[in-house]
């Protein structure tokens, strides 16, 4: 991969040979080009794959003018309400009657009481409020509503 052997014997001059063969020394150079190539390929693979690792329940989020929240080290818990009214914790669909006990079990294991609620824009507000109540009953007091940016600002300016 880059190591080789070089000959130290010169060609002529007044040098004396110390045996039948000229002494050979190992080449001390390392070729880093293949290493850099592999690292660049891995970087590109991770850059392409990272957006695909988000929560896998497809919903059409409403658009607002709110800014994004800063992220922490612990992976945030996400609860999703799909357009058909089904509820999922992260990417696992769950029955509504099992939601509060499951949330209590999750809250007991987590240090952070923050949860993100992703609801389809076509879901009635009543259902979103019911899920927020279940989140609170499950031990999560900090609920963030996930939206997409680029919506109306309601101050007379359009995006």
Render pLDDT for 37-47 as a digit per residue (tens, 0 to 9): 999 999 999 88
Task: Kindly state whether residues 41 and 71 are assigned to the same domain.
Answer: no
| Domain-located, residue 93 | yes
Return the pLDDT at 38.
93
Strand duo 77-81 + 114-119: pairing: parallel
Residue 32 clears pLDDT 80, i.e. is over it? yes
Residue 4 clears pLDDT 70, i.e. is over it? no
Q: Which domain holds residue 18?
A: 5-51
Cβ–Cβ < 8 Å for 100, 139:
no
| Domain-located, residue 129 | yes
Task: Kindly state whether residues 122 and 137 are assigned to the same domain.
Answer: yes
Residue 8 clears pLDDT 60, i.e. is over it? no
Residue 108 clears pLDDT 80, i.e. is over it? yes
Determine the average pLDDT of the residues in 81-104. 89
Cβ–Cβ < 8 Å for 119, 79:
no
For the chain, the domain total comes to: 2
| Domain-located, residue 157 | no
């Amino acid at each position: 991969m880059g190591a080789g052997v070089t000959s130290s014997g010169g060609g002529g001059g007044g040098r004396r040979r110390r045996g039948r063969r000229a002494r050979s020394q190992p080449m001390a150079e390392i070729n880093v080009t293949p290493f850099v190539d592999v690292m660049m390929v891995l970087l590109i693979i991770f850059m392409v794959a990272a957006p695909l690792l988000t929560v896998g329940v497809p919903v059409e989020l409403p658009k607002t003018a709110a800014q994004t929240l800063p992220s922490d080290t612990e992976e945030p818990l996400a609860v999703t309400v799909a357009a058909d009214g089904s509820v999922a914790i992260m990417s696992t669909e769950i029955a509504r009657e099992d939601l509060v006990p499951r949330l209590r079990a999750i809250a007991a294991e987590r240090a952070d009481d923050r949860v993100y609620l992703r609801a389809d824009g076509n879901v009635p507000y009543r259902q979103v409020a019911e899920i927020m109540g279940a989140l609170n009953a499950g031990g999560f007091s900090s609920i963030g509503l996930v939206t997409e940016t680029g919506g109306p600002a309601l101050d007379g300016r359009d995006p």
